[in-house]
Amino acid sequence: MTIVQPLFYSSKPQTTSVVQRFILSVFLMLFISVSAIADEITLNLKDADIRALISTVSKFTGKNFIIDPRVKAKVTVISANTLTPEAVYEVFLSVLQVHGYAAVLTGSVIKIVPEVNAKQGPLPLSDKNTKYASDELITKIIRLDHVPASQLVPILRPLVPQQGHLAAYNPTNTLIITDHAGNIQRLMKIIRGVDRPDSDELEIIPLKHASASELVRIINSLKTTATKGAGSTGPKLAADDRTNSILVTGDRSSRLKIRATIGYLDTPLEDGGGNTHVIYLKYAKAENLSKILTGLKKPRRNGATKAKGAVAKTSFGNAISQSAIIQADEETNALIITADPNTVKNLKAVIRQLDIRRAQVMIEAIIAEITESKQKELGVGIAVDGSSDNNNTIPSAISNFAGIDDVLLSVLGGNTLSSVPSGLSFGVGESTSSGVRYGLLLRALQSDTNTNILSTPNIVTLDNEEAELIVGQNLPFVTGSFTGAGNNNPNNPFQTIERQDVGLTLKVTPQINEGDTIKLEIEQETSSVIPGTVDLGIATRKRSFKTSVLVDDGGILILGGLVQEEVTDTQSKIPLLGDIPLIGFLFRSQSTTKNKQNLMVFLRPTILRDHRDAAFVTNEKYSLLRGVESAAYDKEDESFGLIDGAAPRLPPIEGIDRSKQTTDKSQVNLKPDESDDWEDDDEFI
């Protein structure tokens, strides 16, 4: 009897004909006897179609199968005991393996395919939390710790069937195996027995001179280069910065090679230096530099917390040990560093670049204030001096134009002028028999006033350092007064006084940029006392500005200025009379005043890169001062009888010819690495 089996079997009931059900039932009764125990069967088959077995397993286990058309075989199964559904499925997988087929789980369906094609399907990846049947086809990834994966492949290859897969991945030292779960378990036992270190001994090598972290870095780099591409793990090294020791694990031969390498590298320095060094600074301040170097070994805030003795990376790409101790001695301006040799070397490289001679900047300011004032005045004054005439009083009258009354009355009275007014004054006068005196004065005045105030403050400061110059007076200003009652005196007044600087104030902070340009942050203030305001309290005139500018070396730049022009026309006259045509000028006076003020501030910075530039500028200014002094002595009148040489004179200084200096400023501003004999100044303890 031939039984036709469908290609898809499911545990769910399907619509079949009555004949097919009858035939299938008879077939199963011939080969399968159902035990009285619930959910267990006794499976006995002889030369049965494999598809009939698949159908039986599907119904008993509730699994769904898809059969490859190439699956054809006669199977024989003999079972003496009853089997659970799990045991039936394991027997089924064993039958498939014997006949060269495999079951591949895909979602909720199991595919029955030839075993040679099964490894290319979506096999499950082995998980330690999942239990697999011994004949289930899976893929396992095994990571090795001690033995190179490539060395195990030829050993395990004969143990893997032809339908299986075995490969090594050297970068991660892992094995990839595709086979039945039972065989993979056997291979894992073999791998665990082989993947062991030659010796579990831990060796600690203390160092006397070299840095543990630096030697570990060097040896690891050599080991990585030698074993690149071989997949070998080799010995492991770790550094303990606290004790300056190296921890080594691995086989005996590897440890001996590493010990020999360490012994060769752990030698004292030629200068005999230890772990404590004293470095005398030339230009930088020890206290400031100590704070900078201490900050280098602090880990970044956004980074992970490192253990004690860990190594932090600096911007120089070198290691700065966290255990380094850096102290500053202000009296000798020296740094005391206690650290391993590698850290000391890196710190010296940083110090060498920071302890350099900083350039200076000389700032010359020109503050020019030019005031021009012109005044014109023309007027006629009339005066009548009244007196008693026959007991009749005659009133006095005068056109009081700009002090003309004093002049007329003096002329009429025959008195001498107490003060002669400016300009041209022409007056006539007459006295009548009745005692009345008349007078007339013509006055013309033109005045020109020019005021030139020039201030040229100079100041020298270091690059990026603020400098302040104050030239002036410290004047008292009344800020308050109080009158109170005392025991003996009912009034006990007192005043509060506050002193303020009046004059010239200049604050500047230079910053030398690339290309000999200078950024200047400037505050300048000029103040002066306004004349005629002392009685009512001192009043000052103030001019100030605050700005940031960019100037080339030796260039002149205007910082600001004020141009102010004021014209004032004044006319004084007697009402009505001053408006009479032709003769109205006799009764009026006119004046015109014109004030023009110009205030400009200029600045010229000069970079002084080394002592030669500073000496040249100093000699230039000093020679200028001696020239002024010599001119003053040449004009001295010898009639005073001064003893020759009684007054002190400025002594001459040795001059420097700036033209003989190099014009290549890059040669003057030496790089830190080119500074001469920097390390020769170090003293070691």
What is the DSSP secondary-structure string of 46-103?
EEEEHHHHHHHHHHHH--EEEE-TT---EEEE--SS-B-HHHHHHHHHHHHHHTTEEE
Beta bridge partners of 236: 249
Cα 126 to the center of its chain, rounded Å: 51
Asked if the model's pLDDT at residue 223 lies above 70, the reply is: yes
Share of the chain above pLDDT 70, in %: 64
Cα 489 to the center of its chain, rounded Å: 67
Compute the half-sphere exposure of residue 563: CA atoms within 13 Å on the CB side of its CA: 0
553/606 Cα distance (integer angstroms): 5
Asked if the model's pLDDT at residue 604 lies above 80, the reply is: yes
At residue 228 the predicted structure's pLDDT band, cuts being 50, 70 and 90, is low
407/426 Cα distance (integer angstroms): 10
Tokens standing for residue 482 = 């109080």
At residue 670 the predicted structure's pLDDT band, cuts being 50, 70 and 90, is very low
At residue 94 the predicted structure's pLDDT band, cuts being 50, 70 and 90, is confident
Asked if the model's pLDDT at residue 646 lies above 70, the reply is: no
2/371 Cα distance (integer angstroms): 132
pLDDT of residue 269: 63
At residue 13 the predicted structure's pLDDT band, cuts being 50, 70 and 90, is very low
Q: For residue range 366-419, what is the model confidence (pLDDT) as tens digits?
A: 888 777 777 777 666 666 665 545 544 444 555 545 455 565 556 555 555 555
pLDDT of residue 403: 52
Residues 639/641/642/643 CA torsion (nearest 10 deg)? 130
Q: For residue range 204-221, what is the model confidence (pLDDT) as tens digits?
A: 899 887 878 888 888 888
Is 63 buried (19+), middle (13-18) or exposed (0-12) by CB count in 10 A? buried
> Quick one: which H or E segment has residue 398?
strand 397-398
At residue 34 the predicted structure's pLDDT band, cuts being 50, 70 and 90, is very low
Q: Comparing 1-122 with 202-265, is the CATH topology the same?
A: yes
Tokens standing for residue 332 = 């000798």
Asked if the model's pLDDT at residue 8 lies above 70, the reply is: no
Antiparallel, parallel or unpaired: β 437-455 and 424-431: antiparallel
User: Nearest-5° angle of CA 604, CA 606, CA 607?
Assistant: 150
> Quick one: which H or E segment has residue 21?
helix 18-31
Tokens standing for residue 616 = 């040249």
- Collapse the DSSP code of 412 into the 3-class scheme (helix H, G, I; strand E, B; otherwise coil) and give the result: helix
- CATH architecture of the domain with residue range 1-122: 2-Layer Sandwich (3.30)
Asked if the model's pLDDT at residue 491 lies above 70, the reply is: no
pTM for the model stands at 0.47
Share of the chain above pLDDT 90, in %: 8
Asked if the model's pLDDT at residue 607 lies above 90, the reply is: yes
325/685 Cα distance (integer angstroms): 14
pLDDT, mean over the chain = 72
Q: Which of 436-450, 498-512, 576-590 has the highest mean pLDDT?
A: 498-512
Cα 542 to the center of its chain, rounded Å: 39
Q: Which of 263-267, 390-394, 530-534, 655-659 has the highest mean pLDDT?
A: 263-267
525/538 Cα distance (integer angstroms): 18
At residue 552 the predicted structure's pLDDT band, cuts being 50, 70 and 90, is very high
Q: Which CATH number fits domain 202-265: 1.10.10.10, 3.30.1370.120, 3.40.630.40, 3.60.20.10?
A: 3.30.1370.120
Higher-pLDDT residue of 655, 148 = 148
Higher-pLDDT residue of 434, 357 = 357
Higher-pLDDT residue of 473, 360 = 360
The phi, psi pair for 66, rounded to 5°, reads: -120, 125
Q: Are 43 and 77 in contact (CB under 8 A)?
A: yes
Asked if the model's pLDDT at residue 30 lies above 50, the reply is: no
- Collapse the DSSP code of 313 into the 3-class scheme (helix H, G, I; strand E, B; otherwise coil) and give the result: strand
228/173 Cα distance (integer angstroms): 12
Asked if the model's pLDDT at residue 644 lies above 70, the reply is: no
Q: For residue range 168-200, what is the model confidence (pLDDT) as tens digits?
A: 888 888 888 877 777 888 888 888 888 876 655
Asked if the model's pLDDT at residue 98 lies above 50, the reply is: yes
Q: Which of 253-267, 367-381, 556-570 has the highest mean pLDDT?
A: 253-267
pLDDT of residue 462: 92
Nearest to 49 by CA among 12, 110, 99: 99
670/684 Cα distance (integer angstroms): 26
pLDDT of residue 309: 38
At residue 36 the predicted structure's pLDDT band, cuts being 50, 70 and 90, is very low
Tokens standing for residue 553 = 């070396």
Domain 276-356 fold is Ribosomal Protein S8; Chain: A, domain 1 (3.30.1370)
pLDDT of residue 674: 41
Q: Which of 4-13, 39-48, 511-520, 572-581 has the highest mean pLDDT?
A: 511-520
Q: Are 128 and 141 in contact (CB under 8 A)?
A: no
Residues 298/302/304/306 CA torsion (nearest 10 deg)? 10
At residue 568 the predicted structure's pLDDT band, cuts being 50, 70 and 90, is confident
596/499 Cα distance (integer angstroms): 32
Nearest to 460 by CA among 605, 630, 311, 253: 605
Alpha helices of 280-434 — where are they, by DSSP H? 286-296, 341-354, 404-413
pLDDT of residue 518: 92
Nearest to 51 by CA among 30, 33, 74: 74
With a CB cutoff of 8 Å and minimum separation 6, the contacts of 165 are 119, 139, 176, 177, 178, 179
- Mean pLDDT of all residues in 474-486: 69
Q: For residue range 341-371, what is the model confidence (pLDDT) as tens digits?
A: 778 888 888 999 999 998 999 999 888 877 7
Nearest to 62 by CA among 7, 108, 129: 108
pLDDT of residue 548: 92
Q: Are 550 and 518 in contact (CB under 8 A)?
A: yes
296/310 Cα distance (integer angstroms): 13
Cα 178 to the center of its chain, rounded Å: 55
With a CB cutoff of 8 Å and minimum separation 6, the contacts of 254 are 234, 235
Compute the half-sphere exposure of residue 429: CA atoms within 13 Å on the CB side of its CA: 24
Cα 524 to the center of its chain, rounded Å: 30
pLDDT of residue 509: 93
Asked if the model's pLDDT at residue 280 lies above 90, the reply is: yes
174/70 Cα distance (integer angstroms): 35
- Collapse the DSSP code of 353 into the 3-class scheme (helix H, G, I; strand E, B; otherwise coil) and give the result: helix
Helix %, strand %, coil % of the chain (to 5): 25, 40, 35
Asked if the model's pLDDT at residue 279 lies above 60, the reply is: yes
Domain spans in the chain, listed from the N-terminal domain onward:
1-122, 202-265, 276-356, 379-449
Q: For residue range 55-93, what is the model confidence (pLDDT) as tens digits?
A: 888 888 888 888 888 888 888 887 777 878 888 887 888
319/345 Cα distance (integer angstroms): 10
Beta bridge partners of 276: 338
pLDDT of residue 360: 92
- Mean pLDDT of all residues in 304-331: 59
Beta bridge partners of 360: 462, 608
Nearest to 427 by CA among 592, 582, 375, 413: 413
Alpha helices of 297-438 — where are they, by DSSP H? 341-354, 404-413
Alpha helices of 168-316 — where are they, by DSSP H? 181-194, 212-226, 252-265, 286-296
Asked if the model's pLDDT at residue 519 lies above 90, the reply is: yes
103/122 Cα distance (integer angstroms): 11
Q: Out of 361-375, 418-432, 623-637, which region has the weakest mean confidence (pLDDT)?
A: 418-432
With a CB cutoff of 8 Å and minimum separation 6, the contacts of 265 are 210, 215, 218
Nearest to 262 by CA among 205, 319, 342, 213: 205
- Mean pLDDT of all residues in 620-637: 76
Is 479 buried (19+), middle (13-18) or exposed (0-12) by CB count in 10 A? exposed
Residue type (1 letter), 255: R
Asked if the model's pLDDT at residue 1 lies above 50, the reply is: no
